[in-house]
Structure 1
Amino acid sequence: MVSAMKTSHVMIVALALAAPTMANAQGNLQSDAEAAHYVQRIESLDDAGPQINAVIVFDRDATAKAGAAMRGNTRLNGRTVLVKDNIETSEWATTAGSLALKDNRTGRDAPMITNLRAAGGVVLGKTNLSEWANIRDNSSTSGWSAVGGLTRNPHGIDRNTCGSSSGSGAAIAAGFAWAAIGTETDGSITCPASVNGVVGFKPTVGMISRTHVVPISHSQDTAGPMARSVQDAAMLLTALAGSDPADPATAEADARKTDFSAGLGNSTLQGVRIGVLRKQVGNRGDVRTLFDTALADMVRAGAVLVDIDFEPNGEMYRDEYAVLLFELREDMGTYLRSLPGADMPRSLSDLIAFNEANSAAEMRWFGQSIFLEAEAATDRSAYEKARANALKLAGAEGIDRLLAENEVAFLVAPTTGPAWVSDLVNGDHFSGGIGAGSLAAIAGYPHLTVPMGAVEGLPVGLSIMSGKWRDHDVLKAGAAYERARTAALPEPSLARWQPAPAE
């Protein structure tokens, strides 16, 4: 995105301070005024000022569209939503961050976008992402794409946004929209939500259609909401969810969906048994301290905590990777062959060839080792065996067994550690062995992350997981924790990270 608008430091600070006011007053402000406010923030803070670089393209007519949607007396009533740029919308190209798809203007709305508009949501724009949803190379830097460049974390613009829904997480943290849509295969909603200090929800796989979404894996892919509160995330999920005849995984969605925001305002943890995944807290003392505070908040709210000593079988991760490689080649080819236009890539091998031919732009910072592995992953029998084993270890012998044997309703752990310094040369720097999100990702079960505090001004989230189709229950538990939370949450600095003064 390019804008000629230049913003003074005073204006940047004023806009930054205005963001929480907007977040806390959704019911009191007109949606057209909200839309105008968000457009102004994108122009001033994403295109100019600190250049968060979360939004690739946006609709300057969003104010008028929000006003028109308000007159329809719909569920979302003109609220603005940013959409990850691997989800098709009729207005713009859908690129997945790659120059290979820069002209991918299908004129189609993904079914989830059709649902969003029908509910009165306004598509404000498309967000940057880790290119190809971070499945191209093992040495990638999250938040970078050839189309969108590097997204910056609003809590420290030299810090990473995680991925692959990097722009969606950063945009909500910076106050660029009411909510955003991300997608996840394993961690791509929950990690960026955690490190950007927002709520992220990965629903049960099959709750939201994946049609017209650039894929990785039909076994694990799902879209989900990212917002500033659990209530807002639940409202957006309600708008997106539903069955789609073109996506067999969603066959039960119409029967399973509900008003996911109902009952959140008075949900409680009183008497609720919660499993604490102690080995997934990791080895960082600062994250452990935040987690202990979150646990104490839950106890004060009436929860009964049950310590769980669990270590996933390593075969789960090995077999998940085998599944993703096989499904990437097949599912990507199916998607690419669906695209209109004579000059579009039609297979993973076409993408590999494109990257090689355009290596200066596409492979300056990292290669395509995963693409190459996926192209060679053709053994269907091995794939089917790997999928069955990974699913068993994450589901029946993972989350399902832990819930049943410990008689708990939910599992909790920190989501991940604080954001690391972005490093295009050396790639990502995860630390601490923190989190258990792969269990929910592989099993296809719901996983919510809610901010639980910060390490030196850098946010860290609390993960809440449960069994298949228990999405509403998980959201209720998250809302109850949100009300009980005592930890202070940081405001985005929109500047380079600085350590807090020593006490």
Structure 2
Amino acid sequence: MRSSARTRRRGIVAALTGVCLLLPASAHADDRTTSLQASEMSTVLDRLTIPDLQWAMDGRLLSSERLTRGYLDRINAVNPRLKAVVQTNPDALALARQSDSRRRAHQTRGPLEGIPILLKENIDTADRQTTTAGSTALRTAKPAKDAFLVQRLRDAGAVILGKANMSEWANFYGSGQIPGWSAVGGQTRNPYVLDRSPCGSSSGSAAAAAAGLATVTIGTETDSSIVCPSAATSTVGVKTTLGVVSRGGVVPITNQHDTPGPIARTVTDAALTLAVMAGADAGDPATAPVAGALPADYRTMLTRDSLRGKRIGVWRKGHEGIDRDVDRVFESAVQRLRALGATVVEGADVPDVIGMVQPHLLPAVLTEFKHDLNGYLATTPGGHPKNLTDLIAYNKKHAAVELPGFEQDLLEMADKTDGNVNDPAYRAHRAAATGQARDSIDAVVKKYRLDAIVTATDLPAPPIFGGGGSSFVSSTRSTSTAGYPHITVPGGFARTGLPIGVSFLGTRLTDASLLGYAYAFEQATHARKAPHYLPTAR
């Protein structure tokens, strides 16, 4: 074990030396990197975890300022192609220098000390950055305080590097909108194949994590918005049990689904960051009942033998026989689970709940969206629309920017509801949708006595424009509607160079176990590869 640690640390030193990240470096030195150095930095940082970076900074081999400058340089070099980052924090370098001062004084705050993190642009920060949810209507919004999760990140020492692009209004805008597009940030590109979709709505967060534009990024999910873009960009995406991470200070769709979570290049970084973000928030009632869902020490979740002796159900129906590359990658994953000591249980297919829940789900979410968004807009300072009706009017007035080729039909449908979440008809719709989604997972887990379910996350990313529909059954609709955890981890690649993800999902509060299974799988496969920015699929 000691020999392994020494080998790992020698590798860190060599890697950092190779990209000119070693100290000392003057705070006033010209640290601009060449395109080659930026590329080398991506390769190095792709394989260094947060604990690796902390070890290097503790040993004065690296500073937070140097690391933050490196990411800012990389954003300047790569982001014009990707449009993954909307803005960088003008205070990032100052925050990094403060972190370095604390470290020198042996006053580090937590496990994220000095680590640069990007936030999805629907997460409030009370600083010089904006929080627009991708809409020009919110450019003048001035959140009065940090989102609860942002304060948790800051308290643990994180450097907020900037904000990531997203599908405007988190894909709850118009039925014809394109994933990854916003009026504020333009069209996010998939870093593996630039003309392919990054999926959404946490498009920029996933693309930025994949491209090495931050150590870790934060996304939010209502239905597939973390899981889908993470699978499309060969990153680890964690959608937790509802309430494990507070939604306080996040531009909402519905508090019955919305779930912030980390997107990272490794399970280690995702688990560490999630452990920091999780916690009870007096402003979010959903957090108290699930407080303590994760262990205090994230490392206890991450063991290479966590799959040994576990019963893992295999969900194939609706996912198999559609794409031969997905079939190949998933079959390899199932065989790897067996090799890792899991009892693989075939036939554990989760029913396609879309037809069952949709008659209840859409009416419920439309009502919740109007209620929750009106509350957010009304309480957020600044000269912006203060309710959904005014937002719709703003979009019509600025249609050339806000409605380029699609309508805002989802906003308009929501505005026609009364937004009354105490109405018996609404409550019946919500109870039916949530209940059926939970039953769809719980019944399979109980029938086969499962510890988790594994499945292919999605098909390889379609073209950004004109991708068309798919017969692939959603792997996220049940977990998102149920409020259950869902983790995607890199599984492999299609012959076109596009990533394919493998999902681990389970019942309520199985988050820690799923992270362990994802970690064991990741460590056995090392399936992730850094992107090559191909102009089109080969």
If the length of structure 1 is used for normalisation, what is the TM-score? 0.92
Question: What is the distance in 1 between the residues matched to 2:200 and 2:295?
Answer: 29
* Offset of residue 317 of structure 1: 2.9
- Tell me the amino acid that sits aligned with residue 317 of structure 2: K
Which of 399, 406, 422 lines up with 2:448 in the alignment? Answer: 406
Question: Secondary structure in 2 aligned to 1:412?
Answer: strand
The CA distance in 2 between the partners of 1:6 and 1:149, in whole Å, is 26
Q: Deviations over 1:385-432 (max 9, x none)?
A: 11111111111x211111111100101111111111111xx5x53534
What amino acid does structure 2 have at the position aligned with 1:36?
Answer: R
- Matched residue, 2:437: 394
What is aligned with 1:29?
56
Q: Displacement of 1:280 after TM fit?
A: 3.6
In 2: Cα distance, 1:273 partner to 1:22 partner = 32
Match of 1:366 among 382, 406, 416: 406
Once the two structures are superposed, the pairs formed by residues 4-403 of structure 1 within 5 Å of their partners are 10=36, 13-22=39-48, 25-30=52-57, 31-32=63-64, 33-47=66-80, 51-69=81-99, 71=103, 72-73=107-108, 74-91=110-127, 92-259=129-296, 261-263=298-300, 264-282=302-320, 283-307=322-346, 308-313=348-353, 314-341=355-382, 343-378=383-418, 380-395=423-438, 397-403=439-445
Does the CA contact (< 8 Å) of 2:144 and 2:380 recur in 1? no
Distance in 2 between the 1:66 and 1:16 partners? 20
Whole-angstrom distance in 1 between the partners of 2:499 and 2:146? 34
1:479–1:14: structure 2 CA closer, same or farther, 3 Å change rule? closer
Distance verdict in 2 for CA 1:227–1:260, change over 3 Å = farther
Residue 458 of structure 2 corresponds to which residue in structure 1? 416
Please give the alpha-carbon distance, in whole angstroms, between the structure 1 residues aligned to 2:199 and 2:279. 28
SS in 1 for 2:454: strand
Cα distance in structure 2, aligned partners of 1:235 and 1:315: 36
- Cα distance, 1:333 vs. partner? 0.5
State the AA in 2 paired with 1:168. Answer: S
Cα contact 1:415–1:434 (8 A) shared by 2: no
- Deviation of 1:11 after TM superposition, in Å, equals 5.6
Query: What residue identity is the alignment partner of 1:26?
Result: L
In 2, are the aligned partners of 1:39 and 1:60 still within 8 Å (CA)? no
In structure 1, give the amino acid aligned to 2:411: F
Cα distance change of structure 1 residues 429 and 105 upon mapping to structure 2, 3 Å threshold = farther
**Structure 1 residues 400 and 339: alpha-carbon distance in aligned structure 2, compared to 1, 3 A threshold:** same
1:418-462 Cα offsets, whole Å, 9 max, x none, are 111111xx5x53534144211110110111000100112111111
Aligned length: 486
Identity within the alignment, %: 37
Unaligned runs of 5+ in 2: 1-30, 58-62
CA distance in 2, matches of 1:107, 1:334: 14
SS of the aligned residue for 1:29 comes to helix
- The answer to whether structure 1 residue 444 and structure 2 residue 487 are counterparts is no
Q: How far apart, CA to CA, are the structure 2 residues paired with 1:276 and 1:494? A: 33
User: Deviations along 1:349-384, whole A, 9 cap, x unmatched?
Assistant: 111111111101100132111111111233733321
Q: Deviations over 1:59-115 (max 9, x none)?
A: 354344234335232221211110000010112111000011011122420111111
Return closer, same or farther for 1:218/1:461 CA change in 2, 3 Å cut-off. same
Is the contact between residue 242 and residue 257 of structure 1 (CA under 8 Å) also seen in structure 2?
Answer: no
- SS state of the match for residue 375, structure 2? helix
Note the alpha carbon deviations across 1:22-70, whole angstroms, 9 max, x for none.
55953453351322221110111114xxx21111111354344234335
Aligned to 1:471: 511
Where 1:26 maps in the other structure, the secondary structure is helix
* 2:528 equivalent in structure 1: 489
Deviation at 1:346, TM superposition (A): 1.4
Q: Residue 172 and residue 217 in structure 1: after superposition, are their counterparts in 2 closer, same or farther (change >3 A)?
A: same
Gaps in structure 1 of 5+ consecutive residues:
none
Whether the 8 Å CA contact 1:280–1:436 is kept in 2: the answer is: no
Partner of 2:8: none
1:269–1:387 CA distance, 2 compared to 1 (3 A) = same
Equivalent residue letter for 1:76: L
Per-residue deviation at 1:285? 1.9
SS at match of 2:298: coil
Q: CA deviation at 1:260?
A: 5.8
Matched letter for residue 295 of structure 1: V
Query: Aligned partners of 2:281, 2:349: CA distance in 1, in Å?
Result: 39
TM-score, normalization by structure 2:
0.86
CA drift of 1:170 comes to 0.3
CA distance, structure 2, for counterparts of residue 207 and residue 98 of structure 1: 28
